[in-house]
């Protein structure tokens, strides 16, 4: 009898990080409920403090493994514009980014941007609510993962208040249109080279065209949801925060809600978990968990749409004319959801990986001709690729990597490169850096990351993506 393939590697030994990733992925593949094989994508790497590596796609049958997911709906939206390097002056780009610096902060606003009622409607409505709120085309829904909502059913206002922690709702009101820190960014790229002219034409891409890339998530709204519905694994090195969160969880899951029949499952999922845990998706607690993450994930879409509205308004104000813009695609790369994969219903856990549907999965143009647009961003200051999902994604549970992945963990990179040296590297790469916060950038420079050319070579080899165009960063806003 042939041995079942436990792990399917879409990588190359040259790019595999020398850290705990290999042992951790073996542990995941042996977890009860996990469908084999686990898909490991080219950006596979370890993040200090995390329980699982980044760059994986894990399918389960009716099992939620909370440890496999981080902050709901971290994602990257690509906004295609009618601007070009020929009709947009450097001075105008500089003015645009200086205004964005004050309009898109790296930290939450001091005052709420939404009322409590608006916040609840935002998470219930997802991208549809955001498109209407910010007067953006409703046709963009077709270019957003799951048409902009992770909810599988209508959720009442009362249910939202029972499922989402009050701290998540409160922080969400102050996080609308916020970029965040770390590896989040708002960048302007020029299309430096078209690789596939037929697909580029279908997607409305051409050389010298300018596109914005927005990388952010559901911020503290999502992190509060994640912490309340996790076993605090990432806080073990921070004992004060660990104990504070434990007390919050005891209040939230037990003292506030007297659903005593669910207590045993909540205890072993959130309080005293063995290994990576496992929660039946069809149980009452499983539905509660998925709904909480869906609501928080919906705010990720709303947040990126809020930033897109600001980008458009500021560009038009600087240019003195209307700017034509279209959403290329907006997928999440950190989420859990129930999905149909090859006629089978799975719970898909994507950690640092995007959904990527080939053309056969689409019924409308142009995506039924091209397949889903896929962004593969390089390291800060280096080129990125825009491509289309290829047929090989059927072997990864309709998933591709969300970037090139690290060779060195962030803290190691920061120890090797000073902030001053990082600034010189970006200047040599002709990238203009703008800051809306004080986060360090030394850990984000290219020497810490895998080669974009090598990663794309592996993706093409496994038929995960058809390259369409290369883009070169011109300006980057970091928190």
Span of 56-60, 92-96, 207-211, 446-450 with lowest mean pLDDT: 446-450
Q: Span 230-245, mean pLDDT? A: 80
Please state, rounded to an integer, the average pLDDT across all residues of the chain.
94
Short-list 112, 236, 126, 90, CA closest to 178: 112
- Residue 300 φ/ψ, nearest 5 degrees: -60, -45
Average pLDDT over residues 39-51: 88
| pLDDT band, residue 365 (cuts 50/70/90) | confident
Listed range (62-71, 349-358, 378-387) with the worst mean pLDDT: 62-71
**450 pLDDT exceeds 50?**
yes
pLDDT at 46 over 80: yes
Q: Does the residue 118 lie in any domain?
A: yes
- Structure tokens that stand for 112 in this block: 């709420």
193 in a structural domain: yes
The residue that leads in pLDDT, 73 or 275, is 73
C-alpha torsion sign, points 313, 318, 320, 321: negative
Is the residue at 262 inside a domain?
no
* Range of lowest pLDDT (27-41, 68-82, 246-260): 246-260
Q: Which two tokens stand for residue 18?
A: 């020398």
Angle (nearest 5°) at CA 325 between 90 and 128 = 135
Full domain range(s) for residue 72: 7-231+273-478
What pLDDT does 51 receive? 83
- With tokens 């920061």, the residue in question is 414
Asked whether residue 39 carries a pLDDT value surpassing 70, the answer given is yes
Residue 292 has pLDDT above 90, yes or no: yes
* pLDDT score at 284: 93
- Residue 54 belongs to domain with CATH number: 3.90.1860.10
Task: Check whether 41 has a pLDDT greater than 60.
Answer: yes
Q: Are 170 and 225 in contact (CB under 8 A)?
A: no
308 pLDDT higher than 50: yes
**Res. 20: pLDDT tops 90:** no
Predicted confidence band of residue 22 (pLDDT cuts 50, 70, 90) = confident
pLDDT over threshold 70, residue 2: no
Residue 232 pLDDT more than 80? Answer: no
Please indicate, yes or no, if residue 392 is contained in any of the structural domains: yes
The whole-angstrom separation of Cα 107 and Cα 248 is 23
pLDDT of 415: 86
pLDDT tens figures, 310-348: 999 999 999 999 999 999 999 999 999 999 988 899 999
Q: Is pLDDT at 16 greater than 80 in this prediction?
A: no
Residue 11 lies inside a defined structural domain of this protein: yes
Cα torsion 325, 326, 328, 329 to 10°: value is: 110
Beta-strand relationship, 432-435 and 465-478: parallel
Q: How far is CA 41 from CA 56, 314, 408, 459, 470, in A?
A: 6, 37, 17, 9, 20
SS3 labels along the chain: CCCCCCEEECCCHHHCCCCCHHHHHHHHHCCCCECCCEEEEEEEECCCCCCCCEEEEEEECCEECHHHCCCCCCEEEEEEEEEECCCCCHHHHHHHHHHHHHHCCCCCCCCCCCCHHHHHHHHHHCHHHHHHHCCCCHHHHHHEHHHHCCCCCCCCHHHHHHHCCHHHHHHHHCCCCCCCCCCCEEEEEEEEEECCHHHHHHHCCCCCEEEEEEEECCHHHHHHHHHHCCCCHHHCCCHHHHHHHHHHHHHHHHHCCCCHHHHHHHHHHHHCCCCCCCEECCCHHHHHHHHHHHHHHHHHHHHHHHHHHHHHHHHHHHHCCCCCEEEEEECECEEEEEEEECCEEEEEEEECEEECCCHHHCCCCCHHHHCCEEEECCCECCCEEEEEECHHHHHCCCEEECCCCECCCHHHHHHHCCHHHHHHHHHHCCCEEEECCCCCCHHHEHHHECCHHHHHHHHHHCCCEEEEEEEEEEEEEEC
At residue 1, the pLDDT reads: 40
pLDDT in tens, 116-154: 999 999 999 999 999 999 999 999 999 999 999 999 999
Residue 238 domain flag:
no
What mean pLDDT is predicted for residues 274-294? 94
Higher model confidence: residue 23 or residue 351?
A: 351
Task: Tell me, yes or no, whether 240 lies in a domain.
Answer: no
- pLDDT of amino acid 13: 84
Q: What's the domain count of the chain?
A: 1
Confidence of residue 3 (pLDDT cuts 50, 70, 90): low
Domain contains 189: yes
């Amino acid at each position: 009898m042939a041995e079942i393939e436990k792990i399917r590697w879409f990588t190359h030994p040259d790019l595999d990080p020398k850290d705990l990733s290999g042992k951790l992925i073996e542990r995941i593949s042996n977890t009860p409920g996990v469908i084999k094989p686990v898909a490991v994508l080219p950006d596979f790497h370890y993040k200090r403090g995390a329980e699982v590596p980044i760059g994986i796609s894990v399918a389960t049958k009716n099992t939620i493994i909370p440890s496999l997911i981080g902050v709901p709906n971290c994602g990257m939206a690509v906004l295609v514009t009618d601007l070009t390097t020929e009709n947009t002056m450097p001075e105008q780009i500089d003015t645009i980014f200086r205004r964005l610096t004050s309009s898109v902060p790296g930290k939450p606003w001091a005052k709420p941007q939404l009322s409590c009622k608006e916040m609840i409607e935002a998470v219930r409505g997802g991208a549809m609510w955001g498109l209407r709120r910010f007067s953006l085309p409703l046709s963009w829904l077709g270019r957003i993962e799951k048409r902009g909502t992770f909810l599988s059913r209508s959720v009442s206002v009362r249910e939202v208040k029972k499922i989402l922690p009050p701290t998540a709702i409160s922080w969400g009101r102050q996080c609308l249109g916020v970029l965040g820190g770390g590896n989040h960014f708002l960048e302007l790229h020029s299309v430096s080279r078209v690789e596939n002219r037929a697909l580029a034409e279908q997607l409305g891409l051409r050389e010298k065209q300018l596109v914005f890339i927005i990388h952010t998530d559901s911020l503290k709204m999502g992190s509060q949801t994640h912490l309340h519905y996790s076993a605090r694994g990432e806080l073990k090195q921070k004992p004060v925060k660990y104990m504070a969160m434990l007390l919050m969880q005891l209040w939230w899951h037990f003292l506030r809600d007297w659903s005593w029949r669910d207590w045993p499952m909540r205890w072993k999922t959130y309080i005293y978990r063995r290994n990576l845990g496992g929660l039946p998706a069809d149980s009452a607690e499983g539905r509660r968990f998925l709904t909480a993450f869906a609501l928080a994930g919906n705010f990720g879409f709303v947040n990126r749409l809020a930033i897109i509205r600001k980008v458009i308004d500021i560009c038009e104000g600087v240019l003195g004319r209307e700017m034509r813009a279209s959403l290329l695609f907006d997928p999440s790369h950190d989420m859990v959801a129930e999905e149909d994969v090859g006629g089978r219903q799975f719970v898909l856990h994507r950690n640092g990986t995007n959904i990527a549907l080939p053309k056969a999965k689409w019924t409308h143009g142009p995506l039924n001709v091209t397949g889903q647009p896929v962004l593969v961003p390089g390291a800060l200051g280096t080129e990125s690729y825009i491509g289309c999902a290829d047929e090989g994604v059927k072997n990864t549970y309709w998933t591709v990597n969300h970037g090139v992945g690290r060779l060195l963990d962030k803290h190691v990179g920061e120890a090797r490169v000073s902030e001053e040296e990082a600034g010189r590297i970006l200047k040599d790469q002709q990238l203009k850096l703008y800051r809306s916060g004080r986060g360090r950038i030394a850990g984000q420079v290219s020497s810490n990351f895998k080669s974009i050319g090598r990663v794309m070579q592996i993706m093409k080899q496994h038929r995960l993506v058809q390259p369409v165009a290369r883009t070169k960063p011109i300006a980057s806003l970091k928190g």
